[in-house]
Structure 1
Amino acid sequence: MLDTPVIKAKRLNGQKWYEIDDIQDLDIAESIFTPDDDERVKLMQGRYGGYWRYPKLLDFCYLVNPYFPPAKLKDELRASFDTLLTEYPSGMRVNSLLAAKNFSVRQENILVGNGAAELIKSLMGFLSGKVGFIRPTFDEYPNRYSKENSIDFTPANSDYSYTADDLIAYFGDKDIRNLIVVNPDNPSGNYIPKADLLKLIAWSKNKGISLVIDESFVDFADEPDNTLIDQVILSNNPHLFVMKSISKSYGVPGLRLGVLASGNTDVISSMKKDVAIWNINSFGEFYMQIEEKYRNDYASALVQIRNERSRFENLLATVKGVRVIHSQANFVMVELDETISPKALLKTLLIKHEVLIKELTTKTNGRNYLRLAVRNSEDNDRLINAMKEELGEI
């Protein structure tokens, strides 16, 4: 081969390159090299995750806890990697026991899912009659239900904020059999305190309304002791269903974990038959087994993200044309000046700065809103600097 060399090299000077060996590589390369910026934005948004394939990209679109899990927990997962990779996970019954232990409820009152998304799909299939939704919200719920059986409440203010009393007043005379409440809500970050939620639970029980409360982001709220996954609350309110995404709160979205808790053991039992018997993998099962040992680390991580959220909100307020809406989640919704196009800003930040954000025009009837994930200080500073470069500084 030395006599007839077939390998050639080209010295690059800052050009982009990507090695293509298969159809997956080609798919990634197409999103990097397409000359049409709008097409690149479309291709990137259409991936719905997997952005670790783009090492330089900063993802402010999908939501995660940047301060958890700690290194020791990850080391424990690594130490068991070979076993977890080559062994079957336990079935639904055993994983329900693990979840029951972690959340201090009975096994018959809780169900583990391959992320909350799997449980949302299953639960919505068990609801009947009209459902009340709050808009804008996490679309996985309304997208799983027919529009003709959906009744929407949209807060009449620019922060999309609302209270339990607002919901009771609006839905009090509506013919609904179910109500979905995400708390803190996504994308607004609106938060209803626990005492007011208990009032809403009592009202819905009296009205014969099934109440679904998604508390996937509640751990990030300032109020202590705010969870509704409590055996007494569940047992006394069989009309209540509490959803929680472990992926978002605990910073392990790759494991795909979520739980649903309810005093309605019939529905929980039926859902356990509805989802696959091996619906989570061995890595997710092992994580639930060891997670309890790291409760203090988790509490510290929540303090860190609350502090960083406050700092992030203050920095966002210094960007020209940006109005910050206070959040109780691990993201912040902002309103842009009417002269700023959210779609154009998204494109500029992605193409020029390799930062991906979430614009909300489809959720807010064309109004100028963004949802920005709270990441660590270094990442958040990079976004702030990019936004100031494009929009200016107050």
Structure 2
Amino acid sequence: MQAIILAAGMGKRLGELTRNNTKCMVKVNEVTLIDRVLSQLAKLHLKRVVIVVGYEGQKLIDFIGDRYSSEVKIEYVHNPVYEKTNNIYSLALAKKQLQEDDTLLIESDLIFDDSLFQMIIENPHPNLALVAKYETWMDGTMVQIDNDCNIVNFIPKKAFNYNEVDSYYKTVNIYKFSKEFSRSYYVPFLEAYSKALGNNEYYEQVLRVITLLDRTGLKALPLTDEKWYEIDDVQDLDIAETIFAEETKLQMYQKRYGGYWRFPKLIDFCYLVNPYFPSQRMKDELRANFDTLLTEYPSGMFVNTLVAGKYFGVKQEYVVVGNGAAELIKSLMERLEGYIGITCPTFEEYSNRIVKERIVQFIPQNPDFSYSADDLIEFFTGKELSSLLLINPDNPSGNYISMENVLLLANWASEENITLIVDESFVDFSDDYLNNTLLNNGILEAYPNLIVVKSISKSYGVPGLRIGVLVTACKTLIDWMKKDVSIWNINSFAEFYLQIFTKYEDDYKMGCEKFLIERRRFFNELQTIPFLRIIPSQANFFMCEVVSSFTSKELANVLLSRFNILIKDCGTKSAFSGTNYIRIAVKNISDNDRLLRALKLL
């Protein structure tokens, strides 16, 4: 068996990275794509590797040199008109070699697990295409297959139909052709196709024609959990480096702060959203209005505060809407002056917005990091404070202070002339959640020193919409913040969501009830894991102490590397120095059980 690698293209979409290098010389985690694939091929004891070069071809040849000469014979075919042709011509230039042996055909912009070559070689079918079930990140040629894994159709980009994606498989661009298939089918059709349609085409188009024939024997070999990625641009490169990282994999995922839909096999237990809302009916309504919402401007702040006030049952003049709570936090923290009291560990977006010298820090002195309103009052009394921050329930501890005691804290803060900021983004996950919110006109008016912040991402399950609110009866602050943020700071999808929510309030309440049931079940199951101490929570996550077998970082790493499960290692948060705590989101039953199975295997 031999291998043919197509490496003549210019790789223009990689910009500066391919200005003076061919695409396969780009590095992924400090190893070039060509070195990675040649190292993989060298283990297969092939007769030869034929590389079709074009753009910066001599530079690639010099780069490879004779470094692999003791392991595999390398030959080169030159495409002198690479800038005017496509890969059908590059492969046509190697048609003589293609007919001389069974062949692995590989494109040079791929990175993949070592196991893929063994899979395709050991499979008894002589003519195979590696394929992967369609996912949203995939681009390029698709195929459809029957129940016997026969390829029944190749679908080029221009024939792609989003209504049929459930039947699509993406070609991985690794093929196995027998020399008989190449001689009898592929090369004759390649010659005819090129003569008829020219050389600015793709070699898969020839396969598309061949699949219309009977008995060609071209099969698909679907991947399961094997890793692979195709690198066309700098974003692809960034994703590939994350997927194929080793020691730094956890850090590379964590620095992304989301966007995990680009990694569809990843189970994310870091980000904290309601698994039971929005309902299917609500998503269907959003989907039905997609075209209008995409092509129309959203309203400005006046309308958005009107619909947000309706959403939460508070006066319009008490509300400012943000592009996520993060936008409002930034604006608020820039407005506040003086010292601010903060309990740690906690959600750090607030403290990251001011200099450390302005923070008066309270760290509960117990292993659960729990605290009460009385604890806060006792600690901060006599301190020089202008503001006090309370995340309730807190993140990551899940600590919760009841409504009655929050109002005691608000009363104390009022007497001390302290602004009390309560972030209640997780309050709808608490028991008796319907009676726990501070978003009430009477409460706001009784405590004009009270500022309530709420992220709509969390309990409402729509982090992609980026909506948050800040609510207070202090109209001076509200008026200032409305001028500080952009007039169109939320998009039409977010506005429409706020507008239609009231139709789905019953669905929301039902989702919250389902969540409370699953949180209790998940808590009981987690308690069976011997190396974890689970801390009770009134939020949609549990903080757990890793008491044996692993450090928190080791546990996070092993879950990611072995099971593709991402959890939060709390070691990076303030107040956790030298301790081993993790945070685990409460997701739906299926995902929670997957995590439980993984933990029980460790």
Q: Which moved more, 1:358-367 or 1:341-350?
A: 358-367
After TM superposition, the structure 1 = structure 2 runs for residues 127-166 of structure 1, keeping only pairs within 5 Å, are 127-166=336-375
Residue segments in structure 2 that go unaligned for 5+ positions in a row: 1-87, 95-104, 107-173, 177-220
In the alignment, which residue of structure 1 is the partner of 2:244?
A: 33
Instruction: Return the offset for 1:23.
Output: 1.3
In the alignment, which residue of structure 2 is the partner of 1:373?
A: 585
In the alignment, which residue of structure 1 is the partner of 2:38?
A: none
In the alignment, which residue of structure 2 is the partner of 1:248?
A: 458
From 174, 178, 201, the counterpart of 2:383: 174
Deviations 1:224-271 (A, max 9, x none): 411001101111211100000101110000000111100101101100
Deviations 1:298-318 (A, max 9, x none): 001001111111111111100
| In 1: Cα distance, 2:228 partner to 2:385 partner | 55
Q: Which runs of 4+ in 1 moved over 2 A?
A: 1-16
Instruction: Return the offset for 1:4.
Output: 2.2
From 75, 92, 114, the counterpart of 2:284: 75
| In 1: Cα distance, 2:579 partner to 2:553 partner | 11
| In 1: Cα distance, 2:93 partner to 2:266 partner | 37
Instruction: Return the offset for 1:5.
Output: 7.3
Q: Please tell me the residue identity of whatever aligns with 2:341.
A: G
In the alignment, which residue of structure 2 is the partner of 1:65?
A: 274
| In 2: Cα distance, 1:366 partner to 1:82 partner | 52
From 332, 349, 352, the counterpart of 2:562: 352
Instruction: Return the offset for 1:42.
Output: 1.7
Residue aligned with 1:238, SS: coil
In the alignment, which residue of structure 2 is the partner of 1:19?
A: 230
After TM superposition, the structure 1 = structure 2 runs for residues 249-288 of structure 1, keeping only pairs within 5 Å, are 249-288=459-498
| In 1: Cα distance, 2:500 partner to 2:519 partner | 28
| In 1: Cα distance, 2:327 partner to 2:412 partner | 28
Residue aligned with 1:128, SS: coil
Pair 1:103-2:312 in alignment: yes
Q: Please tell me the residue identity of whatever aligns with 1:203.
A: W
Instruction: Return the offset for 1:366.
Output: 2.5
Residue aligned with 2:370, SS: coil
Instruction: Return the offset for 1:104.
Output: 1.4
Q: Please tell me the residue identity of whatever aligns with 2:597.
A: N
Residue aligned with 1:132, SS: strand
Query: Quick check: 1:120–1:141 contact (8 Å CA) kept in 2?
Result: yes
Instruction: Return the offset for 1:150.
Output: 0.7
Instruction: Return the offset for 1:135.
Output: 0.4
In the alignment, which residue of structure 1 is the partner of 2:156?
A: none
| In 2: Cα distance, 1:273 partner to 1:193 partner | 34
In the alignment, which residue of structure 1 is the partner of 2:600?
A: 388
In the alignment, which residue of structure 1 is the partner of 2:211?
A: none
Query: Quick check: 1:338–1:368 contact (8 Å CA) kept in 2?
Result: no
Q: Please tell me the residue identity of whatever aligns with 1:76.
A: E
Pair 1:218-2:438 in alignment: no
Tell me the TM-score normalised to structure 2 length. 0.63
Instruction: Return the offset for 1:333.
Output: 0.6
Q: Which moved more, 1:98-107 or 1:322-331?
A: 98-107
Pair 1:234-2:444 in alignment: yes
Residue aligned with 1:10, SS: strand
| In 2: Cα distance, 1:274 partner to 1:173 partner | 33
Q: Please tell me the residue identity of whatever aligns with 1:266.
A: T
Residue aligned with 1:208, SS: coil
Q: Which moved more, 1:1-10 or 1:263-272?
A: 1-10
Residue aligned with 2:248, SS: helix
| In 2: Cα distance, 1:338 partner to 1:353 partner | 20
| In 2: Cα distance, 1:343 partner to 1:336 partner | 10
Deviations 1:329-382 (A, max 9, x none): 000111111552111111110011000000111321121111000000110011
Query: Quick check: 1:106–1:231 contact (8 Å CA) kept in 2?
Result: yes
Q: Please tell me the residue identity of whatever aligns with 1:276.
A: S
In the alignment, which residue of structure 1 is the partner of 2:299?
A: 90
From 511, 522, 527, the counterpart of 1:317: 527
Residue aligned with 1:192, SS: coil
Q: Which has the higher contact order (CA 8 A, sep 6+)?
A: 1
Residue aligned with 1:324, SS: strand
Query: Quick check: 1:188–1:327 contact (8 Å CA) kept in 2?
Result: yes
The structure with the greater share of residues assigned to strand is 2
Q: How many residues align?
A: 388
In the alignment, which residue of structure 2 is the partner of 1:195?
A: 404
Query: Quick check: 1:177–1:209 contact (8 Å CA) kept in 2?
Result: yes
Deviations 1:185-227 (A, max 9, x none): 0000000000011111111001100000000000000034110
| In 2: Cα distance, 1:329 partner to 1:45 partner | 21
Residue aligned with 1:99, SS: helix
| In 2: Cα distance, 1:336 partner to 1:89 partner | 47
Q: Which moved more, 1:115-124 or 1:15-24?
A: 15-24
